Structure 1
Amino acid sequence: MKTFTYSLLLCLVSVFSYAEISSAEKSALVKFHSSTNGNQWKIKWDLTTSPTKWYGVQIKNDKVVGLSLPNNNLKGTLPSELGQLKSIEIIDLFKNELTGNIPSSLGDLQMLHTLNISFNRLNGAIPVSLCNAKSLKVLELYMNSLTGTLPKEIGKLSNLENLSLFNNQLSGELPSTLYTIKSLKVLMLNSNNFTGKLSYEVENLTSLQNLSLFENNFIGQVPFELEKLKNLNELNISYNQFNGLISYALAKKDTFQMTMLNDKGVAVRLPLLTDNTGVVGTPD
């Protein structure tokens, strides 16, 4: 009996020692490897070994939970097969040379909380389906060549804390649903082609700490509701076409002190409200 028990334990140890991810997940990683020119990566995968030994792949309970290959000379496109990594929580492919579109299948990743594919050469629109990845807390797509609008479905990402889309070619007005994401702490949309007004509903973003909208084409009055955001410690909305009066407090908080471009493209500062003595404040 003791011999049988000992043999059984050895078998169990052996099984757990050689436990592997599913064939679907392994196939997805192999496809990712080939689509991004894996043979030219800085740190390469040996596909003859177990995925547990592949650089940047994090596995937990026989599931892929992380794929982190920043600055690793990835070239090519992101395959739709990434959507097969159903348990993945983090995808970090920052600073590579990825091209093509963002796969719509990433929206199938319900456990994904961090997606960073910034500083690449991605183009096309932000897929609406990405807004189905409701666990997302960090969505960083900055410094690419993305076009189109910010999907109105963005409001479905109710856990989002960091939305960084700066230095792209995004356009259109900000959807009203954006102002419903009360968890947002960082909203960086600068250096795009956004238009329209900044809604007074911005006051709903009570967790906001960093708001960067400079170098766009926003118009209209700067909402005074910005002053209600008590956690806001970094603000830059200059180099737009905002108009009207602004307070000294807001002008002082803005990095470029509310310097806008007028209809002739000339940089001018917005005029300040007078204080209770009738004296106009100056941001200097």
Structure 2
Amino acid sequence: MKSLATLFLAFVFSLNIFADTVSEKEKNALLKLYHATNGSQWKVKWDLSLSVSAWYGVHTEKGKVTAVYLSDNNLQGELPAEFFDLANLSVIDLHKNKLTGMLPQSIGNLKKLEVLNVSHNQLSGTIPETICDLKNLRDLELFKNNFSGTIPSEIGKLNQLQILCLFDNTLAGTIPDSLYKLSSLEILLLNNNQFSGNISPEILNFKALQNLSFFNNNFEGEIPKELEELENLSEMNLSYNKFKGSVSKNLIVLDAMNMTMFDENGKPYLLDAAKEKKSENSILN
């Protein structure tokens, strides 16, 4: 009986080892990441003699690498091309490191990706159009980098997106029409860039929006009244733009800087509060 029990335990153990083993291709992709980003200088290093599932920040499931959590771990250098062959990734969290270079078009290979956070690095170049092919993406955080260019025109294809944080870059251009289709958005932070143009009344589609910041850009025109109809909106900053006209007291109170704008000479001024229409009863009285 003891021998049978021993054999059974050995069999179960071997199954666990097998289930825990990732393919050589995925292991090599992680090794490329380790060496390309100066792994010997990471805060928490990988013990390459251990199985991949034991490596810090690497999550595996049924022999597949499904998540990489390496935030604030002193990664330095460019992400290797092989990293974007990890087709089973659902989470990439590499924020607060020293990554440089560009996000390649091959990021579109990661069809299962739900979270992409490479914020607070030194990444540059444009946001790849192929990022719009990641239909499962819920959280996209690229803030505090050196990204330039425009928001991809087809970003509206990301209909699961809840968080879009692009602040503190050098992005420019207008907000693409498709962005207003993202009715699931809860957080939209575009502050401290060089965006321009008008804000569409279609902002009304952001029914789930809780936090909105367009602070410190070059937006112009009037602030759409439809913002008042976003019942979940609790934080907002539209100041330090070139908006004109008047705005309701409700929106002024909601704005962190009380709607401070820049005039044509670059001098700050406050938008006027719109006069409230008197009700019919008050007129009769």
Contact 1:81/1:105 (8 A) holds in 2: no
SS at match of 1:170: strand
Match of 2:58 in 1: 57
Which string of whole-angstrom CA distances, capped at 9 and with x for unpartnered residues, describes residues 102-127 of structure 1? 12222211211111100000000000
- Which residues in structure 2 correspond to 1:1-284 (within 5 Å)? 7=7, 10-11=10-11, 13-18=13-18, 19-277=20-278
Shift of 1:62: 1.1
Which string of whole-angstrom CA distances, capped at 9 and with x for unpartnered residues, describes residues 33-91 of structure 1? 11111111111012222111111001111111110011111000112222221211111
Q: For 2:152 and 2:178, locate their aligned partners in 1 and report how far apart those are by CA, in whole Å.
A: 9
Q: For 1:233 and 1:156, locate their aligned partners in 2 and report how far apart those are by CA, in whole Å.
A: 26
Could you list the runs of 5+ residues in structure 2 that have no partner in the other structure? 280-285
Q: For 1:276 and 1:176, locate their aligned partners in 2 and report how far apart those are by CA, in whole Å.
A: 32
Contact 1:212/1:237 (8 A) holds in 2: yes
Q: For 1:191 and 1:248, locate their aligned partners in 2 and report how far apart those are by CA, in whole Å.
A: 25
Shift of 1:6: 7.0
Deviates more, 1:77-86 or 1:35-44: 77-86
Shift of 1:17: 2.3
Q: For 1:204 and 1:103, locate their aligned partners in 2 and report how far apart those are by CA, in whole Å.
A: 31
Tell me the TM-score normalized by structure 2: 0.93
Contact 1:35/1:79 (8 A) holds in 2: yes
Shift of 1:200: 0.6
Could you list the runs of 5+ residues in structure 1 that have no partner in the other structure? 279-284
Which string of whole-angstrom CA distances, capped at 9 and with x for unpartnered residues, describes residues 192-227 of structure 1? 000101111100111111110000000101100101
Deviates more, 1:12-21 or 1:228-237: 12-21
Shift of 1:16: 2.8
Q: Which amino acid in the other structure matches residue 13 of structure 2?
A: V
Q: For 1:245 and 1:12, locate their aligned partners in 2 and report how far apart those are by CA, in whole Å.
A: 71
Which string of whole-angstrom CA distances, capped at 9 and with x for unpartnered residues, describes residues 119-165 of structure 1? 00000000001111111100000000100000011111000000000
Shift of 1:13: 3.1
Measured on the aligned residues, the alpha-carbon RMSD in Å equals: 1.9
Contact 1:78/1:103 (8 A) holds in 2: no
